[in-house]
Amino acid sequence: MRTAAAALSSGLHAVEPRDRRILVVDDDAPMLEVMSRVLSLNAYDVHTARSAEEALPLALGGRYDGILLDLILPDANGLFVYRKIARQRPALGPRVIFVTGMLDRGEVRRFRHLVDNRLLLKPFDLNELLAAVREVAAPPLD
């Protein structure tokens, strides 16, 4: 698994540049920075939020091709945020990728019964992050 510093210093880049808009939501500042930088280096237009309060107006009012959403935020559960997005912007719901470091195997199984969305368990490989974002962000939402 590549460390964040190694990935950033080695210039982890996609083969084809993209101009998709991605919202990254995580209260962990270093993780938010790493995900944002890796995506930016791969030509994604990245917007960030550190809480549900910041994320919901962006997700519901902006144009995003994908969302990386931490399951545990300081002011709300990520599933609550996801459900609001999916209810008000149904086309965006399947494009939410959950990220978390707090699930054990039993919790992962329970989570999988609730939603079909992609789940990245921290720490994840940065190539796995890019592959997940490429998958949900193509084709772009209008």
The answer to whether position 60 is within a domain reads: yes
The answer to whether position 84 is within a domain reads: yes
Does the structure show a pLDDT above 80 at 119? yes
The answer to whether position 90 is within a domain reads: yes
Mean pLDDT for 58-76 is 95
In angstroms, the CA 22 to CA 45 distance is: 6
The confidence band for 142, taking pLDDT boundaries of 50, 70 and 90, is low
Predicted local distance difference test score (pLDDT) of residue 10? 46
| Closest by CA position to 25, among listed 75, 62, 67, 63 | 67
The count of domains in the chain is: 1
The answer to whether position 69 is within a domain reads: yes
The answer to whether position 11 is within a domain reads: no
The model's pLDDT over 1-50, given as tens digits with 9 standing for 90+, comes to 444 444 444 444 443 435 799 999 999 999 999 999 999 999 999 999 99
Say what the pTM is.
0.84
How are beta strands 66-70 and 119-121 bridged, if at all? unpaired
CATH code of the domain containing 71 = 3.40.50.2300
Q: How many residues does the chain have?
A: 142
Determine what percent of the chain falls in helix, strand and coil, rounding each to the nearest 5.
Answer: 45, 20, 35
Note down the domain range covering 40: 17-137
